[in-house]
């Protein structure tokens, strides 16, 4: 069942025009560009070692005005025990998907890693993900009215002695967002 969910998430990401690649050193910290026809750069995503043990859930209003600030809540729901991880704010983000690509992004700020227990049955706030996104394109212009999708990305690394180096990103299922 868990592999079906992971495959479904990967399929949704591909259908949304996102690439599924190993995460670079700072997966979501790439600079953004936009209005001159260029979109935000694609996000590096990877399955990572805890993908089958957690679900990232994003909650936000279903509609908002272009150029406004959208408040978002992101939580990590733990389905089964997993390895110790640290969430990384500079690797976490909120993204608006539209026209087959990432069209807006709010990246977490640099800061201390947040130890995040992966204990079955727990629901923990994804404190490294931004709590708001301004509904503007990557170049700062308001997004045109229309139907979009919103997702959260939680960047993390394994914690503890002997843990492999490198980072991972888990994406939430995207939710509907109508921009007016």
Q: What is the pLDDT of residue 4?
A: 34
Structure tokens at 63: 């509609």
DSSP output for 87-132 = E-GGG-EEEEEETTEEEEEEEPPS---EEE---TT-EEE-TTS-SE
Q: Are 149 and 23 in contact (CB under 8 A)?
A: no
Predicted model pTM: 0.76
Determine phi and psi for 91, rounding to 5 degrees: -105, -5
Would you state the pLDDT for residue 49?
83
Whole domain around residue 74: which residue ranges? 2-179
What pLDDT, on a 0 to 100 scale, did the predictor assign at position 35? 37
Look at residue 50 in the predicted model and tell me its pLDDT.
86
Q: Domains in the chain: how many in total?
A: 1
Rounded distance between C-alpha atoms, residue 66 and residue 125, angstroms: 27
Per-block average pLDDT, block size 10, for the chain (180 residues)? 37 36 37 46 75 92 96 96 88 90 90 88 94 93 94 88 74 94
């Amino acid at each position: 069942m868990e592999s079906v969910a992971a495959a479904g998430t990967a399929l949704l990401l591909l259908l949304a025009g996102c690439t599924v690649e190993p995460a670079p050193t700072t997966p979501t910290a790439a600079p953004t560009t936009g209005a001159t026809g260029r979109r935000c750069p694609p996000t590096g995503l990877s399955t990572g070692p805890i993908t089958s043990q957690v679900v990232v859930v994003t909650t936000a209003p279903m509609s908002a005005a272009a150029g406004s600030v959208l408040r978002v809540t992101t939580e990590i729901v733990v389905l089964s025990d997993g390895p110790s991880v640290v969430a990384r704010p500079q690797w976490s983000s909120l993204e608006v998907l539209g026209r087959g690509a990432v069209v807006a992004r709010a990246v977490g700020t640099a800061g201390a890693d947040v130890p995040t227990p992966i204990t079955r049955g727990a629901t923990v706030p994804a404190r490294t993900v931004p709590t708001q996104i301004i509904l503007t394109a990557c170049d700062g212009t308001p997004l045109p009215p229309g139907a979009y999708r919103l997702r959260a990305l939680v960047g993390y690394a394994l914690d503890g002695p002997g843990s492999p180096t490198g980072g991972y990103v888990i994406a939430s299922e995207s939710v509907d967002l109508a921009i007016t």
